[in-house]
Structure 1
Amino acid sequence: MLLLAVILISHDGLTAQTIPNREETLKTVVSVNNYFMTKFEDYKAPSNVGRLRPSNIWTRGVYYEGLMALYSVLPEEKYYAYAYDWAEFHKWDYRNGPSTRNADDYCAGQTYIDLYRLNPEPHMIRKVIANLDMLVNTPQNDDWWWIDAIQMGMPVFAKLGTTLGEPKYYDKMWDMYEYCRNQMAGGLFNPEDNLWWRDGDFIPPYKEPNGEDCYWSRGNGWVYAALVRVMDEIPLDEKHYKDYQKDFLAMTEALVKCQRKDGLWNVSLHDPKNFGGKEVTGTSLFVYGMAWGVNNGILDKKTYLPIIKKAWDAMVKDAVHDNGYLGYVQGTGKEPKDGQPVKYDSVPDFEDYGVGCFLLAGVEVYKLEE
C-alpha cells in the first residue's frame, strides 16, 4: 500500500508539472476574449487601418474561429450571439461576394458553417456553397499563392465537405494545397527543413541576415493550424488524410527545434536575431497544433506535453495583461520586419486575429486534462 501511495503521489506530481491547470487556463482564455468583446462590442463596425474594411475580413474571421472553439467548451449565450449577429449582419456573405477567389475573403465561411451546424438553416451556407462550387467547377488551382491562404481557405472546404457529405470539396482542397506546396513558384514547402516559405518572394536565393532561409513564424503557424483543422474534419480514410498528417508531423519536429528557451517562438524561425523576441501569434498556432496532436493521439504525450506547457505558461506569464489585453502580437504583414515593434504593451494594427489564435491554443490546452 505504501508503494502504491508513493506511485500515485509521483504520478500526480508529474501531471501537475506537465499539464497546465485547467481552471486557470479557461479563466485566462475567457479574460482575453472578454477584453476583446468589450473593446469591440460593435461587431458591425468596420476597421479603419489605412482605409475602411468591413468586419468580415480575414482578421475577424480568425477571431471567430477562436470564439467558436471557446463556445464549444463554454457555451455562453453571449458568445453565440456575438458570432450569429455578426454573420447575420453580413448576410452570411463575403467581403467581395461569393464570386471571390481570394481565400482571405472566404475565411469567414468557417464560422458560418460552424453556426449552421448548431441550427441549420439553408440561407446560412448558401453563399458558402456557391463560392466553393465555383472554385470546384473552374480549373484554376493556383489561387493560394501565399501560405496564409491555406489556413484562411482550406478548412472551409473540409468543413463543407463533411457537412454535406460531398468528397468533391476534399478533392479540390487537395488540388489547391498540393499546388501551393509543390508547384507555386517551384513549391513553397521546403522538404529539407520541413518548413514553408511565405510566398515566392522568399524562395532562395533570398536569405535572412544570418544566411538562413526566411521562415516566418506566423506564416508557418497558419499552415500548421490549417492541417489541424482539416484533419479534425475529414474522415480518417480520406485519400489524402495521411498526406496531411505526414506534413503535420514533419512540421512539428521542425518547429520544436526552433522553440526559444523561454518557451515562445521568434518571428523568424531560423534567424532569432532578425527582429528577435517574443511573439504570440506564431506561438499560439504552434501550441494549438501540438495540443491538438496530443489530444487526438497523433503526438506522444510524454514528449510533447512539456513543450506545450512551457509555451503556454510563457504566453500567459509574459503576454496576458491583468485586464485580458494580449501583448507581443505581431501586426499584419508577411515577414519578420512587418508589424514591428512587437512588445508587451504594443498595439498591433488589427487586434482580432491574435486573440483568435490565442483562443484556439487555449481551448486545446484546456482539453489536455480530459
Structure 2
Amino acid sequence: MAICFSGKAQQLPEKQQMLQQLRLANHYFMEKWPDAGKTIVTNRERPANIWTRAVYYEGLMALYEIDRSQRYIDYAHQWGEKHQWLPARERFTRNADNQCCGQTYIDLYRISKQPIQIAGIKANIDAMLETDRANDWTWIDALQMAMPVMVKLGVTYSDSRYFEKMYAMYHHTKYQEGGHGLYNAEDNLWWRDKDFVHPYTEPNGEDCYWSRGNGWVVSALVRVLNELPDTDPHYNEYKQDLLNMLAALAPLQRADGFWNVSLHDPEHFGGKETTGTALFVYGMAWAINRGLVDAAVYLPVINKAWHALTTEALHKNGFLGYVQGTGKEPKDGQPVTHTSMPDFEDYGLGCFLLAGVEVYQLKR
C-alpha cells in the first residue's frame, strides 16, 4: 500500500526529553496511588489487579527496560504481593481480563525467581490447557489481556502447549466468533465483538472499527511476537496480521496526529483520543525497531502521533487527557476532551508508556 502524507513533518524530541515525559506521566500516577493494593472505586469497588491496572503495570515494566529504577520494581512487587500473586477476582478464571495481571507477575518472576510470583497464574492457565474449549475470547480486547500470559509461560517453561492453546483460542476469535470471526480481511481491521459484525454499521454506513479495540489487537500481536520463537508454526500468521493492520491504520491517522475512536467514521464521536493512538504508535515503533516495516513510511506517522500525545494529551502535572473511558465502542466514555477524567486513569497511562518506550528506542 502506498501511503502519502502532507504537511510539515514533526520530529521526535531528544531521548532525554522523551524519558522525562514518560517519568512525568508515571510519577503523577505513582504519587496518586502510593498503595498498590488499594481498591479502585468508581461506580463500585473493584480489586486493584483488574485489567485496567494490569495494563498500567505492563507499561511500567516496559519503562523499567530503559529507566532502571528499583522504585518501579518495588511498586510492581508490592502490587503482586498485595494480591497474593493471583488472577483478579477468582483463583481459577477463564476470563482474559482477570488473567492480564499475570503478565507482570511473570516478568517479576523472571527477575527475582520467587516461585510464588508465577504459581497462581500458571495454575490458572494450566487448568485451561486441560480442556478442549477454545471459545473464551469473544471480544478482541481479550487478545491483549491473555495471549501475552500464555506466550510468556511457554517461553519461561519451554513448553509449546501454551503456544498451541493460545493459537487455538486466537483462531476461534479471528475465524469463528460471531459466525465468521471478528477479523475482516477486506479492511485488515477487527470488529470489537459479535455485536458489531456486519450488517452492523456506523452512521456513515461503514463498518464499526473501534480504535482502542484494534489497538488491543496490535498490542497483543506485538507482545506475542516479542517472545514467541520464530519456529512456531503460527509465527508468520501473527506477524502478517500485525503488518496488515499497521498498513491499514496508517492512512487513517488524523491530520493532528491522533486517531478517531471510530476508525472508518470520523464524524461518529470524532476527535482526539489517546489510548488507540498510543497503541498504534506502540505497534509501529516496535515494527520499525525489528526491521519489519519501512521506517520511511511509518516514522512520519509516529513522529506526528508522538508530538500530539506529548504536547496535547500530556499535562504539565503528568495527567493524560483525551483518554476514552472504559467501554467497547465510540459512544462510550464520551465526551473525550483535554481535561476529561476517564473512569479509570491507569490503562491510558499503560498504553502511553508502552508507546513511549518503543519510540524512545527508535534509531534516530
**TM-score, normalised by the number of residues in structure 2:** 0.96
Aligned partner letter, 1:302: A
- In structure 1, the partner of 2:205 is 211
Which of 150, 155, 158 is matched with 1:162 structurally? 155
- In structure 1, the partner of 2:106 is 113
Q: Equivalences for 1:1-16 in 2 at 5 Å?
A: none
- In structure 2, the partner of 1:4 is none
Residue 206 of structure 1: SS of its match in structure 2?
Answer: coil
Residues 153-174 of structure 1 deviation map (CA, whole Å, 9 limit, x = unaligned): 0000011101111100000000
Matched, 1:262 2:262: no
Matched, 1:295 2:289: yes
Distance 1:93 1:133 in 2: 14
- In structure 2, the partner of 1:101 is 94
Matched, 1:342 2:343: no
Aligned partner letter, 1:206: Y
Q: Equivalences for 1:42-191 in 2 at 5 Å?
A: 42-185=35-178, 186-191=180-185
Matched, 1:220 2:214: yes
Residues 332-358 of structure 1 deviation map (CA, whole Å, 9 limit, x = unaligned): 000000011100000000000000000
Matched, 1:237 2:224: no
Q: CA deviation at 1:41?
A: 1.4
Q: CA deviation at 1:17?
A: 6.1
- In structure 2, the partner of 1:369 is 363
Aligned pairs, number: 355
Contact 2:275 2:348 (8 Å CA) reproduced: yes
Structure 2 unaligned residues grouped into runs of 5+:
1-8
- In structure 1, the partner of 2:4 is none
Structure 1 segments, 4+ long, off by >6 Å, are none
Q: CA RMSD in A?
A: 1.1
Which of 183, 187, 194 is matched with 1:193 structurally? 187
Q: CA deviation at 1:282?
A: 0.1
Residue 317 of structure 1: SS of its match in structure 2?
Answer: helix
Larger Rg: 1
Distance 1:101 1:58 in 2: 14
Residue 272 of structure 1: SS of its match in structure 2?
Answer: coil
Residue 45 of structure 2: SS of its match in structure 1?
Answer: strand
Distance 1:157 1:44 in 2: 25
- In structure 1, the partner of 2:345 is 351
Which of 18, 26, 29 is matched with 1:36 structurally? 29
Distance 1:86 1:331 in 2: 23
Aligned partner letter, 2:15: R
Contact 1:146 1:199 (8 Å CA) reproduced: yes
Q: CA deviation at 1:72?
A: 1.2
Q: Equivalences for 1:263-282 in 2 at 5 Å?
A: 263-282=257-276
Q: CA deviation at 1:43?
A: 1.1
Residues 48-69 of structure 1 deviation map (CA, whole Å, 9 limit, x = unaligned): 1111100000000000000000
Contact 1:20 1:309 (8 Å CA) reproduced: no
Contact 2:37 2:82 (8 Å CA) reproduced: yes
Q: CA deviation at 1:97?
A: 2.8
> Which structure is higher in helix share?
1
Residues 252-306 of structure 1 deviation map (CA, whole Å, 9 limit, x = unaligned): 0110121101111000000001000000000000000000000111111121111
Residues 148-204 of structure 1 deviation map (CA, whole Å, 9 limit, x = unaligned): 000000000011101111100000000000100000012000001000000000011
Distance 1:19 1:241 in 2: 31
Q: CA deviation at 1:96?
A: 2.9
- In structure 1, the partner of 2:320 is 326
Structure 1 unaligned residues grouped into runs of 5+:
1-15
Aligned partner letter, 1:348: P
Matched, 1:250 2:244: yes
- Aligned-residue identity in percent: 57
